[in-house]
Amino acid sequence: MSFEVDVRALAAAHADGAVVVDVREPHEYLTGHVPSARLIPAGELRARVHELPRRERVHVICASGSRSAAAADWLTRVGFDAASVAGGTEAWRRAGHPVVSGPREATA
Q: Which of 21, 62, 72, 86 is catalytic?
A: 62
Do the beta carbons of residue 39 and residue 22 sit within 8 Å? Answer: yes
Instruction: Report the distance separating Cα 15 and Cα 22, nearest Å.
Output: 17
Pair 89, 31: CB distance under 8 Å: no
CB 89 within 8 Å of CB 63: yes
CB proximity list for 103: less than 8 A, separation 6 or greater: 26, 29, 30, 39
* 101 carries an active-site annotation: no
Where in the sequence numbering do the catalytic residues fall?
62
